[in-house]
Amino acid sequence: MVVGLLLDVLKLGILFLRPFSAIRAENLVLRKQLARYIVRGIKPRVWIMRLVLALRCSPDFSIGAMQ
């Protein structure tokens, strides 16, 4: 339990180190994705959202790597 808490604090610290422009770009992509779901009237798959969140929290993931 303590190890899990320390890992979460470490992940939070890593997220704070990300450049502001990367966070803005990611928010833009997620907003577009949400708009597509709303227009189509479908619910997003939970496992896909968990995968996206897990990738976002990994230290080597960046928006630039996807381009």
Q: 29: Cβ–Cβ under 8 A, 6 or more apart, which residues?
A: 63
Query: What's residue 50's pLDDT?
Result: 72
Structural domain for 18, as ranges: 2-66
Q: Residue-wise pLDDT tens for the chain (67 aa)?
A: 888 889 989 988 888 888 888 888 888 888 988 888 888 887 766 667 777 777 776 655 555 545 4
The stretches of the chain forming alpha helices (DSSP H) are 2-16, 20-40, 46-57, 63-66
Neighbours of 25 (CB within 10 A): 16
For residues 61 and 15, is the Cβ–Cβ distance under 8 A?
no
- Total domains in the chain come to 1
Distance CA(4)–CA(61), nearest Å, equals: 21
At residue 67, the pLDDT reads: 43
Instruction: Output the pLDDT for position 11.
Output: 87
